Structure 1
Amino acid sequence: MRKIGYCRVSSSDQNPKRQIIQLQEIGCEIIYQEHTSGASTNRPELQKMLSDLKEDDTIHVTDLTRITRSTKDLFELIDYIKEKRANLNSLKDNWLNLSENNPYSHFLITVMAGVNQLERDLIRMRQREGIELAKEEGKYQGRLRKYHEKHAGMNYAIKLYNEGNMTVKQICDITNVSRSALYRNIKNNKSSLLK
Structure 2
Amino acid sequence: MSGQRVGYIRVSTVDQHVGRQLDGIELDRVFTDTAPGKDIARPQLRGLLGFVHDGDTVVVHSTAHLARNLDDLRRLVRDLTGSGVRVELVHEHLTFAGDDSPMAQLLLSVMGAYAEFERALIRERQRESIALAKRRVPTDGRKRALDRNQIAALLDRAANGETKTLLAKKLASVAKPSTNTSATKARSEPEPSQ
TM-score of Structure 1 vs Structure 2, range by shorter chain:
0.5 to 0.7
1:33-83 Cα distance to aligned partner (Å, 9 max, x none): 122222221212111111111112110011122121211111111121022
Name the amino acid aligned to 1:44.
P
1:110 match: secondary structure: helix
2:43 matched to which residue of 1? 44
Q: CA deviation at 1:19?
A: 2.3
2:15 matched to which residue of 1? 13
Q: CA deviation at 1:149?
A: 9.9
Q: Whose helix proportion is higher, 1 or 2?
A: 1
1:150-187 Cα distance to aligned partner (Å, 9 max, x none): 789xxxxxxxxxxxxxxxxxxxxxxxxxxxxxxxxxxx
Question: Is contact 1:96-1:109 (8 Å) kept?
Answer: no
Q: CA deviation at 1:6?
A: 0.8
2:4 matched to which residue of 1? 2
- Comparing 89-98 with 75-84, which one deviates more in the overlay? 89-98
1:54 matched to which residue of 2? 53
Question: Is contact 2:84-2:97 (8 Å) kept?
Answer: no
TM-score (norm 2): 0.63
Question: Is contact 2:63-2:111 (8 Å) kept?
Answer: no
1:31 match: secondary structure: strand
1:26 matched to which residue of 2? 25
> How far, CA to CA, are the matches of 1:64 and 1:33 in structure 2?
15
Distance of aligned partners of 1:89 and 1:122 in 2 relative to their CA distance in 1, 3 Å threshold: same
TM-score (norm 1): 0.63
1:119 match: secondary structure: helix
> How far, CA to CA, are the matches of 2:46 and 2:81 in structure 1?
16
Q: CA deviation at 1:26?
A: 2.2
> How far, CA to CA, are the matches of 1:36 and 1:79 in structure 2?
22
1:128 matched to which residue of 2? 127
Question: How many equivalent pairs are there?
Answer: 144
Distance of aligned partners of 1:3 and 1:11 in 2 relative to their CA distance in 1, 3 Å threshold: same
Question: Is contact 1:8-1:33 (8 Å) kept?
Answer: yes
| Percent of matched pairs sharing the same residue | 28
> How far, CA to CA, are the matches of 1:56 and 1:125 in structure 2?
41
Distance of aligned partners of 1:6 and 1:96 in 2 relative to their CA distance in 1, 3 Å threshold: same
Q: Which runs of 5+ in 1 are unaligned?
A: 153-195
Q: Which runs of 5+ in 2 are unaligned?
A: 153-194
Distance of aligned partners of 1:37 and 1:125 in 2 relative to their CA distance in 1, 3 Å threshold: closer
1:98-144 Cα distance to aligned partner (Å, 9 max, x none): 441523122221122111111221222233234434544x369xxxx
Distance of aligned partners of 1:132 and 1:96 in 2 relative to their CA distance in 1, 3 Å threshold: farther
